[in-house]
A and B are shown apart, each in its own frame.
Chain A
Amino acid sequence: MIEVRSLTKTFGGKPVLRGLDFSAQEGEFVALLGPNGAGKTTFLRILASLTRPTLGRVSVGGCVLPAQAAGVRRRLGVLSHQPLLYGDLTAEENLRFFARLYGVPNPEARIGEVLRLVGLSARRRDLVRKFSRGMQQRLAVARAILHDPQVLLFDEPHTGLDQDASAMLDGVLAESRARGCTVVMTSHDLSRALSLAERIDILSSGKIAGSVKHGDLGPEDFVRYYGRVIGQ
């Protein structure tokens, strides 16, 4: 589903990604861990066609970036650090807008469905600017899955969520994975990544510096392995 070969990205001559290789199969859940500045967000932005790669080959679902970017974007559900929502629109107006952008069939039914899934049905007519950070993140999750994407790119999705909302998000991720969705999630939470993902890739200095399959290492061994890989 996702194939990345020798990906390099530089900003103003400064390399952020250095010949990164990565792949994820259809239905696979991959967690990307790494210290701040390792290039996790840049990597996800390149996969999302928001940033152009400097060198290397990136394809998602058989569509090569940047030439077939619209085809890639159709397959993606993206959750970034910011909620990508309009404060002056209500929750359902935001979702209606994105449903029109993605050409979601039968939008009203789908909007009701995703709002129920993230627990915001009762607040659907409230302005987003009146939402707390956690509620905005819930709505951002609803926006990301609204068009039933084949690939989810979630950048630190648990940030700002309380325990209930985190459980809701884990449920959404598990349900997406069960219906064959490929998930790539960045995180700083080692234990959550270990419990959710089938594979954990560790990004350090712009490369995949280590990789662990689910169940290969226990939590304590994994923490030690992670520290060794990132050089701590």
Chain B
Amino acid sequence: MSSGSPDMTVDGGPRTAAAGGRWSAVGNYGRVLGAIVWKDLAAELRSKELLSGMVVFALLVILIFNFALDIRTRQNENITAGVLWVTFAFAGTLGLTRSLAVEKDRGCLDGLLLAPVDRSALYFGKAAGNLIFMLLVEALVLPIYSVLYSTDLFRPGLLVVVLLGSAGYVAVGTLLSSMAVQARTRDVLLPVLLFPVVIPLIVAAVKASAGFLAAIPMDEIWPWLNLLIVYDIIFTAVAFMLFDYVVEE
């Protein structure tokens, strides 16, 4: 037996010194988190369902905005930042819905929930996978946008904003998609739940991105960067506390 032997504690963990037990728990947590990320990447590498859909959708959104707005005009930093974040948000929603639907449709969510580990590890595993997919899409969209509209988007500050904004978006999106996936109307429900909650994040990301593109002084950008950082911390903490309740019947 792998558990329940005399050298096991009541919660099934090894009867070791407290510090060793803590390291063991941290190791278990990391192992589960890594396993989920590996599984999501391996499955996506084979099916290519998620990434191809997100990338094509993102490119279509950029093209549609090109017809709707005059993106090539000078002094277009606000428009560029807005178009980019709307594109990321829409493509991200597509990925979030699909990522949890794959788990739910085949009952695999139950398989994850049966793992003998704190369920927040499952949340962080799924969120890390979602963040990787979102960053991959952004890594493809940014150069294409730069080439199409002759705009240099590869500025370190902007890349930091993209990372912070995506992390916050995925943090709250993974939590809400794990709620929405329980409903039959999940495809409609997720955007309805998600977009009102991410308004502060999108506003801060657009303002900070536009600031870096226009090369305005850092003093004016810092408040927006701070808002992004605080948003990321708060919603990661909220998800850490709530995920167990959200996924259990």
Contacts and interface: CB of A to CB of B under 8 A. Distances in A.
B42 A87 contact: no
Given A83-B107, A148-B2, A150-B3, A100 B31 contact: yes
Contacts of A75: 3-4, 12
Given A70-B118, A100-B32, A52 B39 contact: no
Contacts of B106: 82-87
B43 interface: yes
Contacts of A61: 4
A71 interface: yes
A98 B116 contact: no
A88 B4 CA distance: 34
Interface string A137-149: 0000001000111
Contacts of B110: 50, 78, 80, 82, 84
Contact of A80 (B1, B107, B118): B107
Q: Which of B4, B107, B248 has the most CB of A within 10 A?
A: B4
A73 interface: yes
A18 to B, nearest CB: 18
Interface stretch (A31-39, A101-109, A159-167, A204-212): A101-109
Contacts of B111: 84-85, 98, 143
A105 B2 contact: yes
Interface residues of A, number: 44
A70 B12 contact: yes
Given A100-B34, A150-B3, A150-B4, A86 B107 contact: no
Interface string B210-249: 0000000000000000000000000000000000000011
Nearest to A11: B249
B46 interface: yes
B249 A52 contact: yes
A58 B114 CA distance: 16
Contact of B39 (A70, A86, A150): A86
Nearest to A151: B4
Interface of A: 45, 48-52, 61-63, 66, 68, 70-71, 73-76, 78, 80-89, 93, 97-98, 100-105, 127, 143, 147-150, 180
19 contacts: A50-B114, A50-B249, A52-B249, A68-B11, A70-B116, A70-B118, A82-B110, A84-B111, A85-B106, A85-B108, A86-B106, A88-B44, A89-B46, A98-B111, A100-B32, A100-B35, A100-B38, A102-B116, A180-B1
Given A84-B106, A102-B116, 17 more contacts: A52-B249, A63-B12, A68-B11, A71-B13, A73-B115, A74-B12, A76-B114, A80-B110, A82-B110, A84-B111, A89-B43, A97-B38, A98-B111, A101-B115, A103-B28, A103-B116, A105-B2
